[in-house]
Amino acid sequence: MKIQNYINGEWKEPSTGQFAPVINPATGETIAEVAMSGPNDIDEAVQAAKEAQKQWALVPAPKRAEILYKVGMLLKERKEQLARMLTMEMGKVIEEARGEVQEGIDMAFYMAGEGRRLFGDTTPSELKDKFAMSVRTPVGVVGIITPWNFPIAIATWKSFPAIVAGNAVVWKPAPETPIMAQELARIFEEAGLPPGVFHVVHGDGPTVGNALVEHPDVKVISFTGSNEVGRMIAEKCGRLLKKVSLEMGGKNAVIVMDDADLTLAVDGIIWSAFGTSGQRCTACSRVIVHERVKQELERRLLEAVKTLKIGNGLDETVKVGPVIHEEALQKIDRYVRIGVEEGAKLLVGGYILREGDYARGFYYAPTIFTDVTPNMRIAREEIFGPVVSIISVRSLDEAIAVNNSVDYGLSSAIFTRDVNNVFRAMRDLDTGIVYVNAGTTGAEIHLPFGGTKGTGNGHRDSGVAALDVFTEWRSIYVDFSGKLQRAQIDTDD
């Protein structure tokens, strides 16, 4: 199967004529070939988007929303089919893949509702016979760049609010996971979205991503990916005075206090640390535990890890699938070696799985370190794999300080029965998302998603806040007095 670009309502070969293999990370098999495009393909998509957006913006927002309702229904009808495709190209277990498709369904219905809201403000004027209001307006052509770990969910977080607000979208998905992009484009087409409003251009970041970022007719870039790439995008957009939204990962921690329900805490840690094989920006990679319960928590975590079945995510009994590719596998293993060299104690895991059914895929054993100190690299840097570090503390104040000591600020969690501890944590943890008696994952689409510090630049995906990225505010004044009235000057008349 050759996966082409989707430009102006047509499936097109890349101008380069080049394709790259798409690998099933569970088996190492090539399941498709994806277009590796060039700047000319981006330019063609942007020019078509620019023309289509002019007419799309004139369609009443409730009518634009009807397309998203249809998209949501098509996603719902094809949920199982899409989930299986997702597992094959990305590797996450089928249960999680179904959950990811559900995020897209939820986002479609939620953002379709915004078609009858897109609220502005009406306010009194300081002058007689004058009306004042503000309204949202579309920005024009939007560029979105998404990662491989959530190949359909993150795309819907970005494209759905952009489209309902009256913009046209040019999307560069990750080349590792192009099948979901192809399927979403087909669904938009079937739902009746006019040609030119939604485009998919495949390729690598340095070539296609860079061309999208630097194109003068692209007014907004919404990016999810690494901090390193996000910083480069921010620099380019800053020079171009282009709006940019960044979501760049995390170093998320679960705090376990001495009064916590340890059974619940273990469930939350295991799910947060090893779900999606640790390849989530919200994955738990640190456990900050009160010293009084550290030993017992470790014992229970070891027992829980032993029950995790590792393998092909299409097997309903598997709980941990492969990582995305060999490069990721080697990066994770390097960090494990760094942890050992730094003096952390390896409790379980710490090796690549190469034997038997694992031979052709990219599998890493779920790994837990203990006796980790906050200044160790494994406690500060994003590993993006099934590796978690246990850090011992003596108090809630120390736990919060350790949580806040890293460069990221996406998600955090606390397990405690003390309501005072809960409210102090809610106030003092410096992350964009805080969970109480739950792990660090599980965001819902109607709340803002994003973080602080090195995680992002202040914008949010999901929720009503997502509309702020893809709209401009226009303030409107209507003076029906029949005479010149000067604000701040003629207010006493």
- Catalytic (active-site) positions: 247
Rounded Cα distance between 318 and 150, Å, is 19
Rounded Cα–Cα distance for residues 173 and 185 (Å) = 12
For residue 345, give Cα distances in angstroms to 297, 372, 376: 15, 7, 12
Bridge-based pairing state of the strands 433-436 and 411-415: parallel
Q: Which two tokens stand for residue 8?
A: 């102006």
DSSP reduced 3-state for 145: strand
Q: Find all residues with CB under 8 Å of 117, minimum gap 6, and list them.
A: none
φ, ψ of residue 141 in degrees (nearest 5): -100, 130
Q: Rounded to an integer, what distance in angstroms lies between the CA atom of residue 451 and that of residue 34?
A: 32
CA 314 to chain centre: 23
Locus of tokens 């994955």: 283
C-alpha closest to that of 2 among 202, 211, 185, 152: 202
- Extract the tokens encoding 115: 């078609």
Q: Please give the distance of CA 135 from its chain centroid, rounded to a whole number.
A: 28
**DSSP code at position 43:** H
- Name, in order, each residue with C-beta under 8 angstroms of 79's C-beta and a sequence gap of 6 or more: 98, 101, 102, 105
The answer to whether 171 and 222 have CB atoms below 8 angstroms apart is no
Put the strands of the sheet holding 30-35 in their side by side order: 2-3, 30-35, 19-23
Count of C-beta atoms within a 10 Å radius of residue 232: 17
